[in-house]
A and B are shown apart, each in its own frame.
Chain A
Amino acid sequence: GQQLNQSPQSMFIQEGEDVSMNCTSSSIFNTWLWYKQEPGEGPVLLIALYKAGELTSNGRLTAQFGITRKDSFLNISASIPSDVGIYFCAGGLSNDYKLSFGAGTTVTVRA
């Protein structure tokens, strides 16, 4: 599968802070997805993006599909303790069922 570079690898954030993470690829994708995984659970889909330049929000989360189709960004505004977890980006192609995943960004919130 395609290799996605996700950064940062981990972050410690203060409650109330806005944070960003991003994902880049050497190849283009038609779809960018962002998942969150909590300890002992499977990844849960947060946001799906289907169009270059698209900006989509889900509550305090906002994600963007990069204009080059080779990157995506996820922002979390006003962090709260329940934002703790691992956030994964995933890229997909419309003619292919398979997703390529980044290695994840581990978020820890300081109360």
Chain B
Amino acid sequence: NAGVTQTPKFQVLKTGQSMTLQCAQDMNHNSMYWYRQDPGMGLRLIYYSASEGTTDKGEVPNGYNVSRLNKREFSLRLESAAPSQTSVYFCASSDQGSTEAFFGQGTRLTVV
């Protein structure tokens, strides 16, 4: 039972490069989320998708875009990476009407 799967696990980018972080869940959840985790700051919500076909900004959306490709997949795109986007990124999903989120293993991104 895979749960929430994120790829890649590690990535190094140069400033200005673009990349897409992939996320897929096999729990048939309606809602999906992207968080970033920085030391001493907990998890901050970047974007979320309450259901297939909808996306909304979270607390820190600047510099990011998302696509809810289908019910299973929710991708996060950095169009022009900046050093301030160095972080660990987590994708999560939850069932309809539930706040109990299940997390992937994370993508550790370094922007140099």
A-side residues, CB < 8 A to B, are 1, 4, 6, 9, 31, 33, 35, 40-45, 48, 88, 90, 92-94, 96-99, 101-104
Contacts and interface: CB of A to CB of B under 8 A. Distances in A.
Contacts of B106: 40-42
Given A33-B99, A42-B90, A42-B106, A1 B48 contact: no
Given A43-B90, A98-B58, A1 B45 contact: yes
Interface in B47-86: 48, 50, 58-59
13 contacts: A1-B44, A9-B40, A33-B101, A35-B103, A43-B90, A45-B101, A90-B43, A97-B94, A97-B99, A98-B33, A98-B45, A101-B44, A102-B42
Contacts of A99: 43, 45, 99, 101
B4 interface: yes
B42 A103 contact: yes
Contacts of A98: 33, 45, 48, 58
B31 interface: yes
Interface of B: 4, 31, 33, 35, 40-45, 48, 50, 58-59, 90, 92, 94, 99-106
A33 B58 CA distance: 19
A50 to B, nearest CB: 9
A28 B66 CA distance: 30
Contact of A42 (B31, B42, B104): B104
A43 B100 CA distance: 12
Contact of A48 (B31, B42, B100): B100
Nearest to A9: B40
A33, A94, A99: residue with the most chain B Cβ atoms closer than 10 Å: A99
B41 A1 contact: no
Given A98-B33, A101-B44, 12 more contacts: A9-B40, A31-B99, A33-B100, A41-B106, A43-B90, A90-B99, A96-B99, A97-B33, A97-B50, A97-B99, A98-B45, A98-B48
